[in-house]
Structure 1
Amino acid sequence: MAMLQRLQPAMVVDIGANRGQFTLATRHACPAARVLAFEPLPQPAKIFRKLFADNDNVRLFSVAVGLEPGEATIHVSARDDSSSLLPITATQNALFPGTAEAGTQTVRVMRLEDCLGSVELRGPALLKLDVQGFELTALQGCGSLLHAFSWVYAECSFVELYEGQALADEVIAWLRERGLSLCGVFNMAYDKWGKAIQADFLFERASDRPITA
């Protein structure tokens, strides 16, 4: 991934890791980077562990990241990478066929700081979130560690695909208030009328920007 090759983070926290798609891209683009990944669903987590079993630079936590520790119901999509802690709407399945709810499971939820404990977030660090509408709550669950990240890379939506989700403008405003400004938009998805549905957003901490003439 060109974005990762350009940024070259020393550490990546991959929230919503699924089977390891983003972690694989990180290992390819930034082979020296350490990855701390989070995936609460057992089946994709099992595949993730098998894929990175021999890699000491990758660690998986089998929990979701949220605002309060405890347990929560996750709505499992027929395509598990579209599963969410928020109910899946009919709009989501209409725009992305095959992503309707197929069942529910109970998963553990923890705050990021409770998982990492004394793990050093060595910089520059990138926080990636792909949590299907749960982005703002997951970011809030990063709490006191948010300041340690030079970049945040998050999938955000312009329309409600999951019940009660924060839309892109809310996530952008929340991060801006905390010193992270939008600096890139990738992988824009549109409906058949050309209306923007969702995209991946890159945010950068202003203090980490290089000084240019």
Structure 2
Amino acid sequence: MRRAVKLARLLTRRPWRLGLRRGVAAAVEHANALRTLDAVTVIDVGANRGQFVLAARALLPGAHVHAVEPLAAPAEVLHRVAAALGGITVHRAAVAPERGRATMQVPARTDSASLLPVGARQTRVFPGTHAVRTETVRTAPLADLVPSAVLTPPVLLKLDVQGSELDTLRASTHLLPQIDWVLCECSDVELYAGQALRPAVEAYLADHGFQPVRSDNAVTHPAFGRVQADVLFARYAVSASSPAAESAASAS
């Protein structure tokens, strides 16, 4: 999205203006997908500084957002955003199948940080995303951070975890029966060493009753074709009548 156009959009809603005052630009590129949903609970895994949180609070004003972010510096900003907006609970951890500690590879732009080693294609497609330091973070299954008792349906789970999508879903298995939609950044080429690609993510979610209903924000590269996109998955029972299913053709 062109910078001037995005800035103009960011000035149209109070939560987004509050975000700008704290140095955080709302992820307005997700607006079209969010407008199709009526989520009452949002779980944002890989919340970084609150970019998606701001988008969700503006477009789903009645929803409570659980924002999960492992890194210290972005989590500090995220706490300030949460204090300004309300309706947000911050959880400081990385979602993973095992409880413990892990080392994250952190680039200058922390929204590209990953539990996996950065691959050559990542830095080729997204220059400047090579790791410049590491940080040890807490890891835990999602249910340890966001217990099922606090989930008021319908529930949206958003994942932006830089190659760890499948592991994050596996670490969220106990909550998946309560999830109505999953919005996941899926890769078509390997950007991080050992990451699962889109077909594996789709297959796992299909086994748990989800199907893709729309795809947005595709990134392409002359050498690789489509590199990644944000894919919205819906439960079969929900998708048949949901606005998301009616507005999207095929995301696969």
Same fold (TM > 0.5): yes
Aligned-partner residue type, residue 206 of structure 2: R
Q: How big is the shift at 1:209?
A: 3.1
- Runs of 4+ residues deviating >6 angstroms: none
1:53-92, aligned counterparts within 5 Å?
53-92=83-122
Deviations 1:167-191 (A, max 9, x none): 0010001100110001111100000
- Partner SS for 2:177: helix
Structure 1 unmatched ranges of 5 or more: none
Provide the rounded CA distance (Å) in 2 between the counterparts of 1:93 and 1:22: 23
- Offset, 1:77: 1.4
Three-state SS of the structure 1 residue aligned to 2:83 is: coil
- Tell me the equivalent position of 1:7: 37
Offset at residue 193 of structure 1 (A): 4.5
Corresponding residue number in structure 1 for 2:187: 157
| Runs (5+) with no aligned partner, structure 2 | 1-30, 243-252
Q: What does residue 23 of structure 1 align with? A: 53
1:41 and 1:2 map into 2 onto residues whose CA distance is 28
For this pair of structures, how many residues does the alignment match? 212
Q: Is 1:205 matched with 2:231?
A: no
CA contact (8 A) 2:41 2:64 kept: yes
Q: Which has the larger share of strand?
A: 1
* 1:159–1:137 distance in 2 versus 1, CA, 3 Å: same
Q: Is the 8 A contact 2:46 2:159 kept in 1?
A: yes
Q: Residue by residue, what CA displacement relative to the aligned partner does 1:12-32 show, whole Å, maximum 9, x if unpaired?
A: 000000010101000110111
Where do residues 1-213 of structure 1 align in structure 2 (5 Å cutoff)? 1-117=31-147, 119-193=149-223, 195-211=225-241
Q: CA deviation at 1:143?
A: 2.1
Shift of 1:208: 1.7
Q: CA deviation at 1:56?
A: 3.4
RMSD of Structure 2 on Structure 1 (CA):
1.4
For the Cα contact (< 8 Å) 2:82–2:90, is it kept in 1?
no
TM-fit CA distance, 1:54: 3.6
Letter of the 2:132 counterpart:
A
* Structure ranking higher in helix proportion: 2
Identical columns (%): 43
- In structure 2, relative to structure 1, the CA distance for the partners of 1:211 and 1:37 (3 Å cut) is closer
Distance in 2 separating the partners of 1:34 and 1:63: 19
Distance 1:97 1:54 in 2: 33
C-alpha separation between the residues in 2 aligned to 1:91 and 1:125? 34
Q: If the length of structure 2 is used for normalisation, what is the TM-score?
A: 0.81
Q: What is the letter of the counterpart of residue 137 of structure 1? A: D
- Give how far 1:43 is off: 0.5
- CA distance in 2 between partners of 1:193 and 1:139 (Å): 29
Could you give the per-residue CA deviations for residues 49-75 of structure 1, whole angstroms, max 9, x where no partner exists?
111214431000010001111000100
Structure 1 length as normaliser, TM-score?
0.96
DSSP-derived class of the 1:165 partner = coil
DSSP-derived class of the 2:145 partner: helix
